[in-house]
Amino acid sequence: MNKSQFYTSHLAGLHSQLLSHPLTREHLQGHFRLDGVNSTPEMVIELPFAELEAADFAQLFVVFDGSRVHQQREEPHKAPEGVYFTTVNGRLLQYKSKIGVVFLEGEGAGLHMPFLYFDQFFLSGHTAPLLGTISFALSAIAAHCCGLAFIELIAAGGVGFHRKHIGYRYWPKVGFDAALIAGEASHMNGAQTVQDVLAIDPVWWDENGSQRLMRFDLAAQSTSWWKLLSYCQEKQIFVP
């Protein structure tokens, strides 16, 4: 994985502290079984955009130690077409997770911009409170170092959707954003995105927000990174 200037100046400190965190040492060291083959420290996994060692692969796709992983292609009517990895871990995941890489054709130049897509990711209710944030932060840093453009997911729950899901509240806290629906938060002059609403009245979003596709921008200096860094400091995962 490549280390950008932004990584060196702003993410390296967070990354170092994440890697040394007890939860990372316990759950994200790259010990898993991929399509029937046990991982080893020497294993290199070839992907369309990079060659990853087992630990880097585990952190990018949030593969907890002891998991069984299967590679598959997703059909576009189910999720964005791409290469996905489904992960089964009855101890840490409520359901099997499915995270993949999608190639989006760029406008004009015919380029392909790979991005990470979290199709399904539900931690067990018995996991340590910080495991979700730590595992996502590691995934985001790995995705940035692999040159991926952004991360997308459906932030579930909220008004009109299943109330047990809290993704619509959680994911914006770590940097995800999305456009507001027409007429939504109309009393907040100038608000156009979820992050705009959170900057004005986060309680309103908790009570009135709802499910939608959200994006974490992996580009250097993005608002997403500043939100994630701030949240990790707030949770004392990261001490600058």
* Residue 203 confidence (pLDDT): 96
Is residue 191 within 8 Å of residue 200, measured between CB atoms? Answer: yes
What is residue 72's DSSP assignment? Answer: E
Q: In what order do the strands lie in the sheet with 37-38?
A: 37-38, 32-34, 67-74, 82-88, 97-105, 112-120, 150-158, 210-217
pLDDT at 162: 84
Prediction pTM value: 0.94
Q: Which residue has the tokens 């999305």?
A: 178
pLDDT at residue 110, rounded to an integer: 46
pLDDT in tens, the chain (240 residues): 789 999 999 999 999 999 999 999 999 999 999 999 999 988 999 998 899 999 999 999 999 999 999 999 866 667 788 899 999 999 999 999 999 999 876 554 445 689 999 999 999 988 999 999 999 999 999 999 999 999 999 999 999 898 889 999 999 999 999 999 998 998 998 899 999 999 999 999 999 999 999 999 999 999 999 999 999 999 999 999
